[in-house]
A and B are shown apart, each in its own frame.
Chain A
Amino acid sequence: MRVLFCVDGSEGSDRALERGSTWLKDAGIQAVVLYVSPEVDERLRHYERLFESELREIERLFGDQGHGLEVAVKARDRLKQLGLQAERKVRQGDPAEEILAEIREGRYDLVVLACDGTGTVEEPRLGSVAGQIVRRAPTSVLLVRAGAR
């Protein structure tokens, strides 16, 4: 079974990673952690292009691998501690669209992600990304809610 863990470095996504792996670790799954880096504002992109080498130099000086990669690596290492081997992926763009594209391309059986809503079971108030994945994903979705035991 191929399982996609969506992470964004937030407390909610850490919780989803831990709960999901605890529930699935004996199911013999193939896990992938995915971080979607948001689209960069056009004006920032313009200035990043102008000062590209200097900004890269700062990252090198501070030993920064880039936020997306850092979150994905951290999530993969956490899964390893919890007893699951996983592959890491980073994509850039609209989070919901990129997760849906990854689901289609990677032929996953299950997607695990955090849900930051606080509504009832009948009327779940989902975060905008979680809401779109639930509505549009061609596969099963496991939502881990804030405060879930």
Chain B
Amino acid sequence: MGLTAILAVSVFVGTYIAIGMEKVNRTIVSMSGAILLLVIGVLSLKEAVTTYVHWETVGLLFGMFTIIAVLSEAGFFTYMALVVAKKLDYNPYRIFVVFPLVTGFLSAFMDSITVMLFFATLTYELSRLLKFDAIPLVVTEVCLANIGGSSTLVGDPPNVILGLMLGFSFNDFLIHNTPTAVVAALGAVAVAYFQCRKRLVSGGSIDRQALLAMDPAKAIKDVRLFKLGLGAFAVAIFFLVIHAWVEHNLHIPLTAPLAPLIPAFFILILGGHRTEDILRKIDYDVLLFFIGLFVVVGGMEKTGAIRSLANLIADVFRHQDLALVSTLMWFSAVSSAIIDNVPFALSMVYVIKGIAGQVGVPGLAIMVWAVSLGTDIGGNGTPIGASANVVAYAAMEKQGHRIGWPRWMRLAIPQTLVALVICNLGLAVKLWLGFY
């Protein structure tokens, strides 16, 4: 290994350790790693920007973040939660089953961190009025948000990375990951319900008057913005569904990143005086974090170290497709519970791409589904497994509900294991049918 390779590997390992330790802001860590690689000459700036930073991923995330910013600014999440709670007649048992399914559904199309920031807060507020224990419900909501996120291309950042960098469309995820994720989500909710149903309601008098006074319509802050946001969201999903067909048959370059970017810019133009507020709500930190990581992992890829790892894995699992796919899924799941799933997914892109080029291994697609399901769902296991977990955990702590690692793991691990076993079975069936 030459000096350049040693330096690139050192920067890569150092960056990942620093991200895992969470002592310094992860965006600062990833950008520092990237700048260090440029300074020591592992990569040139031109090479980093044009070859390794995946601008399609950054563009798609920017578009989705803009639409979500509009929806949150308009009061969409509060409105949604209140409408659902009212439809369920404010019954804590029904809320316990349906709220996680709602967070799962929303997270399939939106950033799960934003979904959980609002739903953890709203669940806490409802629990105060309805006198139920908010912790099991919030943990289940987070688990379902992560499972829901695994179901589509735009559901979770690891999927955006895996899908766009390896050439899989929104519809590929819809056909292959969504059915597995839906069954896994139902399994997880069932486990959570049977685990928590007896200790859910804490007793005490319920303030019915406060509940009756709660009008969901009051949650909408700006009706015009609300309609614009929902319209943009529907258009983005429609474009994501048709973009591959349009590109292929009509030769119009409606790429996946353009699907949310077009409606996003449309609402920014129509947003009037609210445009600046919307732009302020976009999570630029995450975009910079991604850019830095692309460069850090790019430096590692350039040295050939990832290819050597891929060759080794292919040698061990040659002609053992199910063992390889299952190992990839469970390894991704365990790793994601411990380290940030974004840098993990980014490294795995190069690893599975390297494996797929070998003889005697299954196609790239089944490995993408395995890594995606493992990475997104495995993060449920600990409070730091995914950013949505961190935000929900801290939001509850702030409200005086200290969950603690042991309780989180007691609640989340059974759901996660059931979901992962279902996913593993789904992958085995896909392999057996050759449908992937």
Contacts and interface: CB of A to CB of B under 8 A. Distances in A.
B283 A50 contact: yes
Given A54-B72, A61-B78, A41 B390 contact: yes
B281 A41 contact: no
A35 B404 CA distance: 20
Given A43-B390, A55-B121, A62 B129 contact: yes
Contact of A38 (B78, B281, B391, B398): B398
Given A41-B393, A61-B214, A64-B128, 12 more contacts: A8-B400, A37-B398, A41-B391, A43-B390, A44-B391, A44-B395, A47-B114, A51-B117, A51-B281, A54-B75, A58-B121, A61-B125
Nearest to B387: A43
B394 A44 contact: yes
A67 B390 contact: no
Contact of B219 (A37, A42, A61): A61
A67 B127 CA distance: 13
Given A50-B283, A54-B75, A62 B390 contact: no
Given A41-B390, A54-B118, A61-B218, A67 B75 contact: no
29 contacts: A37-B398, A38-B398, A40-B394, A41-B391, A41-B393, A43-B391, A44-B390, A51-B118, A54-B72, A54-B73, A54-B75, A54-B78, A54-B221, A55-B118, A57-B78, A57-B221, A58-B121, A59-B125, A61-B125, A61-B214, A62-B128, A62-B129, A62-B214, A64-B125, A64-B128, A67-B399, A67-B400, A68-B400, A71-B400
Interface of B: 25, 72-73, 75, 77-78, 113-114, 117-118, 121-122, 125, 128-129, 210, 214, 218-219, 221, 280-281, 283, 285, 387, 390-391, 393-395, 397-400
**Interface SS, A side:** helix
Contacts of B210: 63
Interface residues of A, number: 26
Given A47-B113, A58-B122, A42 B128 contact: no
Contacts of B128: 62, 64
Contacts, number: 75
Nearest to A41: B394
Contacts of A41: 390-391, 393-394, 397
B339 to A, nearest CB: 15
Interface string A1-44: 00000001100000000000000000000000000011011111
Nearest to A45: B394
A80 interface: no
Contacts of A44: 117, 390-391, 394-395, 398
Given A43-B391, A47-B113, A54-B118, A9 B400 contact: yes
B30 to A, nearest CB: 14
